[in-house]
């Protein structure tokens, strides 16, 4: 997509997107969860994103028209397209792709032209999620972020490159890789720098990093066996006290906790002025205040960048202004320097990236608590190519979308699957085991205590339907499990052939998922999907 193609955006300018002059004396720039998306993408936000307990009905658990009403966004407007899911395919034609590292670089340069010492913070999930990141072990993203001029980052999927590669990258980074909650598992001592102090605008600004608390559970712990994570609320309180004692007037938490975890943390740990939220991929047009703490959610996949202008003196934060900048790729000019770097990293893989595998008649997207059409495609591929009765696919929140009529390239396929433990296993599971798995994952998503939430979506299931009461306690949320092919209830004692991918177990056997899905796309030629109504939701 070139500039100026999106008819709906005629008249919109970079200046209008970026907003007025920097206020105050300290500026933060936040990007997070880019998942290695160097190029502009389509990315449909979820239509179902349920909150439980105190978070029920609260942002970010508000979608569709409710979301637009809550924030006073005009339906079908550019911001409605960017932030919600209604009419996505049609609005995508009007407003074009979003993101792209070269566009982000342009915005960062413009912001720094006004405030040269703006602090650029990367919330993590940066080095994973594309073919080029997979092939270069994240080097394409590392080089791009270095050129962008990051001042500090935190992490999650970074560690799925394996600890040796992470150490190699971190040792060479020109900025700190922060994680107050990352500990050496053997001696229980901090393993990474917890924070960095920046002197800006005459005050000290502390940036504390918090990595994803559940890395060894959600991802393969054998890839980083000597590290321990966790929410570690007491540790966070100690670090906040420590930076205040060192003279910080502004305390920023660069977090990969997930939004609901951050909301709870903010209510229990005093002294944090701003939490830059990540992991759960929410995009909110304004801060959510918890007491005096501003929670800021800057989206994912390069769609948005947040600027936060703060007026602070020695006594603390006086005022804060936030702007969620949508990166409309057809409005923002590519930065030539970054565009050249990106082109250089893509060039060795050009033939592979552009290889057409088929096309899609359906809108393919991933976000949503229970299913997404891209996952439906992956599940179909697993069942047909691996000859399985039932398929399971993780509830990942990364992976851009494709519009009806789009060709599916190898790049598109890898954008939805590229990771370091892709084996598509095939095994036997009893109905009882399937129930245990669904209950376990449901509790990771719907436990009313945010500190027990891991921030993904529900495991996607092919070949089987079920009913879920999201408000029920663990062990009794999932009922009416049905084998769709036969229409029979799932028998707890019977063994079913199950295919899946992304097992966290070491030594899982099977072809990489991208080969399985490629074979399926090539055999069908054109992807068509039935509406998926196999999950019945209650208690929301």
Partner 1 sequence: MASIKPRVKAPKTASAGEVVSIKTLISHPMESGQRKDKDGATIPRQIINKFTATFNGAMVFACDLEPSVSANPYFEFQMTVPETGVLAFEWVDDDGSIYTDEKTITVA
Partner 2 sequence: AAAAFAASGLPAFATADAAQEAVMAFTGGVAPGEGGVTLTTPEIAENGGTVPVEVAAEGAAAILVLAAGNPSPGVATFHFGPLGVAMASTRIRLARTQDVIAVAKMSDGSFRQASNTVKVTIGGCGG
Residue 187 binding: pick among partner 2, Mn ion, partner 1, none (C-beta 5-8 Å cut-off by kind): partner 1
Instruction: Give the nearest distance from C-beta 469 to partner 2 in angstroms.
Output: 19
524 is in the binding site of which of partner 2, Mn ion, partner 1, none (Cβ under 5 to 8 A by kind)?
none
Residue from the set 87, 361, 440, 509 that interacts with partner 2 by CB under 8 A? 440
Three-state SS for 422? Answer: coil
3 state DSSP class of 252: strand
Name the strand (E) or helix (H) holding 147. Answer: helix 139-148
Task: Label residue 232 exposed, middle or buried (CB < 10 Å: 0-12, 13-18, 19+).
Answer: middle
Contact track, partner 2, 42-61, x by CB under 8 A: --------------------
> Is residue 102 part of the contact set for Mn ion (CB under 5 A)?
no
Locate 286 and state its tokens.
Answer: 């304004």
DSSP assignment of 91-120: HHHHH--B--HHHHHHHHHHHHHH-TTPEE
Query: Distance of CA 8 to CAs 24, 61, 76, 78, Å?
Result: 34, 28, 10, 8
Cβ distance to partner 1 smaller for residue 74 or 189: 189
Residues 6+ apart with CB under 8 A from 148: 101, 104, 105, 108, 120, 338
What is the C-alpha separation between 293 and 322, in angstroms, rounded? 13
Sole binder of partner 2 in the list 97, 281, 307, 322 (CB under 8 A): 281
**Near partner 2 by CB under 8 A: residue from 58, 139, 384, 427:** 427
Q: Which stretch binds partner 2 (CB under 8 A): 311-319, 456-464, 488-496, 519-527?
A: 456-464
Strand partners, 483: 464, 488
CB of 188 to partner 1, least distance (A): 7
Residue 253: how many other CB atoms lie within 10 Å: 29
- Residue from 156, 307, 386, 410 in contact with Mn ion (CB under 5 A): 156
Please say which residue, 186 or 313, places its beta carbon nearer to partner 1: 186
Q: How far is the CB of 189 from partner 1 (least distance, A)?
A: 9
Residues 412 and 357: their CA atoms lie apart, in Å, by: 10
Nearest distance from C-beta of residue 366 to Mn ion, angstroms: 12
Nearer to partner 2 (CB atom), residue 170 or residue 504: 504
| Candidate ranges 85-93, 278-286, 384-392, 464-472; the one touching Mn ion (CB under 5 A) | 278-286
Structure tokens at 505: 């177990």
250: phi then psi, degrees, rounded to nearest 5? -125, 125
Specify the residue, 474 or 524, whose C-beta has the smaller distance to partner 2: 474
Of 41-49, 96-104, 279-287, 358-366, the segment contacting Mn ion by CB under 5 A is 279-287
Give rounded-to-5 percent helix, strand, coil for the chain.
Answer: 35, 25, 40
- Selection from Mn ion, partner 1, partner 2, none that 186 binds (CB < 5 to 8 A by kind) is partner 1
Rounded CA-CA distance 207/151 in Å is 10
- Judge whether 398 and 281 are in contact, CB under 8 Å: yes
- CA torsion, points 330, 331, 333, 339, in degrees to nearest 10? -40
Closer residue to Mn ion in complex, CB, 125/330: 125
Residues that bind partner 1 (CB under 8 A): 186-188
**Looking at 113-121, 164-172, 278-286, 350-358, which segment touches partner 2 (CB under 8 A)?**
278-286
Give the one entry of Mn ion, partner 2, partner 1, none that residue 222 binds, where binding means its C-beta sits below a cut-off of 5 to 8 angstroms depending on kind: none
Q: What are phi and psi of 189, to 5 degrees?
A: -125, 150
Reference 365, options 401, 311, 417; nearest CA is 401
Residue 56 interacts with, from partner 1, partner 2, Mn ion, none (CB under 5-8 Å by kind): none
Binding partner 2 by CB under 8 A: which of 49, 373, 454, 532?
454
Mark 379-418 with x for binding to partner 2 (rule: CB under 8 A) and - for no binding: -------------x-xxxxx--------------------
How far, in Å, CA of 218 to CA of 156, rounded? 10
Q: How far is CA 277 from CA 108, 200, 286, in A?
A: 19, 22, 12
Q: Out of 316, 384, 451, 537, which residue is the one contacting partner 2 (CB under 8 A)?
A: 451
Q: Which of 122, 120, 96, 110 is nearest to 39 (CA)?
A: 96
3-class DSSP state of 465: strand
Nearer to Mn ion, 33 or 140 (CB): 33
139-158 residues near partner 2, rule: CB under 8 A: 156-157
Contact positions with partner 2 (CB under 8 A) in 209-268 = 212, 214, 216-219, 221, 228-231, 234, 258
Name the segment binding partner 2 (CB under 8 A); options: 86-94, 404-412, 451-459, 529-537: 451-459
Catalog residues that contact partner 2 under the rule CB under 8 A: 33, 125, 156-157, 185, 188, 212, 214, 216-219, 221, 228-231, 234, 258, 279-281, 392, 394-398, 427, 429, 433, 436-437, 440-441, 443-444, 449, 451-452, 454-459, 500, 502-505
Q: Contact residues for Mn ion (CB under 5 A)?
A: 33, 125, 156, 279
């Amino acid at each position: 997509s070139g500039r100026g193609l999106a008819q709906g955006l005629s008249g919109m300018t970079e200046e209008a997107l970026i907003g007025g002059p920097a206020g105050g004396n300290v500026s933060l720039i936040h990007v997070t969860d880019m998942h290695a998306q160097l190029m502009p993408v389509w990315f449909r936000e979820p239509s179902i994103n349920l909150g439980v307990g105190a978070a029920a009905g609260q942002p970010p658990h508000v979608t569709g028209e409710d979301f637009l009403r809550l924030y006073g966004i005009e339906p079908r407007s550019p911001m409605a397209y960017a932030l919600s899911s209604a009419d996505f395919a049609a609005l995508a034609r009007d407003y074009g792709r979003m993101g792209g590292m070269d566009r982000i670089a342009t915005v960062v340069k413009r912001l720094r032209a006004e405030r040269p010492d703006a602090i650029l913070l990367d919330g993590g999930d940066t080095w994973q999620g594309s073919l080029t990141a997979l092939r270069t072990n994240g080097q394409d993203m590392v080089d791009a972020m270095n050129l962008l001029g990051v001042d500090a980052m935190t992490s999650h999927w970074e560690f799925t490159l394996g600890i040796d590669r992470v150490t190699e990258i971190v040792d060479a980074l020109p900025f700190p890789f922060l994680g107050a909650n990352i500990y050496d598992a053997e001696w229980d001592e901090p393993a990474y720098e917890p924070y960095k102090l920046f002197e800006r605008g005459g005050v000290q600004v502390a940036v504390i990093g918090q990595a994803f608390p559940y890395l060894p559970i959600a991802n393969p712990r054998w890839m980083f066996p000597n590290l321990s994570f966790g929410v570690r609320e007491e540790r966070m309180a100690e670090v906040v006290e420590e930076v205040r004692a060192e003279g910080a007037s502004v305390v920023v938490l660069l977090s990969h906790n997930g939004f609901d975890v951050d909301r709870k943390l903010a209510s229990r740990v005093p002294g944090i002025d701003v939490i830059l939220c990540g992991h759960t991929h929410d995009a909110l047009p304004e801060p959510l205040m918890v007491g005096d703490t501003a929670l800021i959610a800057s989206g994912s996949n390069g769609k948005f960048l947040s600027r936060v202008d703060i007026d602070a003196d020695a006594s603390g934060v006086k005022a804060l202004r936030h702007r969620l900048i949508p990166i409309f790729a057809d409005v923002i000019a590519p930065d030539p320097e970054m565009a050249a770097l990106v082109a250089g990293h893509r060039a060795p893989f050009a033939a592979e990236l552009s290889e057409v595998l088929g096309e899609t008649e359906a809108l393919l997207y991933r976000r949503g608590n229970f299913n997404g059409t891209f996952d439906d495609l992956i599940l179909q591929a697993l069942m047909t190519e691996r000859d399985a009765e039932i398929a399971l696919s993780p509830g990942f929140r990364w992976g851009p979308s494709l519009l009806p009529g789009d060709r599916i390239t190898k790049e598109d396929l890898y954008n939805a699957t590229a990771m370091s433990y892709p084996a598509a296993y095939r095994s036997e599971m009893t109905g009882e085991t399937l129930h245990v798995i669904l209950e376990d994952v449901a509790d990771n998503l719907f436990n009313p205590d945010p500190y027990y939430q891991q921030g993904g979506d529900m495991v996607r299931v092919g070949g089987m339907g079920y009913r879920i009461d999201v408000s029920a306690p663990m062990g009794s949320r999932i009922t009416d499990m049905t084998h769709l092919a036969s229409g029979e209830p799932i028998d707890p004692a019977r063994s079913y052939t199950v295919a899946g991918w992304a097992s966290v177990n070491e030594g899982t056997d099977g072809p990489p998922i991208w080969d399985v899905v490629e074979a399926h796309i090539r055999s069908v030629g054109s992807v068509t999907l039935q509406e998926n109504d196999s999950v019945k939701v209650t208690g929301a």
